[in-house]
Amino acid sequence: MKDLIEALPIFLKYGNPASPTNCQHDELWVDVSPELVSEEDLKKLDKFFPDDDEGFSSFRSESC
């Protein structure tokens, strides 16, 4: 859970969508455009994978 808690303030710097997360097939998605995120913050988000069309995803949420 620590990875998620540390990642949320970083994501908040780049947007505050009404529905910021969703889960699909044991994958957590965060609705923040990777294009907006700085290189420094991308390094900190090492447990989340950028996808140009969908935002960021992570499999660390186990079962959604």
In a domain, 16, yes or no: yes
Tokens 């447990």 belong to 47
In a domain, 63, yes or no: no
Q: Is the pLDDT of residue 24 over 90?
A: no
In a domain, 64, yes or no: no
Q: How far is CA 28 from CA 4, 64, in A?
A: 10, 7
Give me the number of domains the chain comprises: 1
Helix (H, G, I), strand (E, B) or coil at 43: helix
Percent of all residues in the chain with a pLDDT value above 70, rounded to a whole number: 94
Phi, psi of 41, deg, nearest 5: -70, -35
Q: How far is CA 3 from CA 9, 47, 53, in A?
A: 11, 7, 23
**0.75 exceeded by the pTM?**
yes
Range of the domain at 23: 2-58
For range 34-58, the mean pLDDT: 94
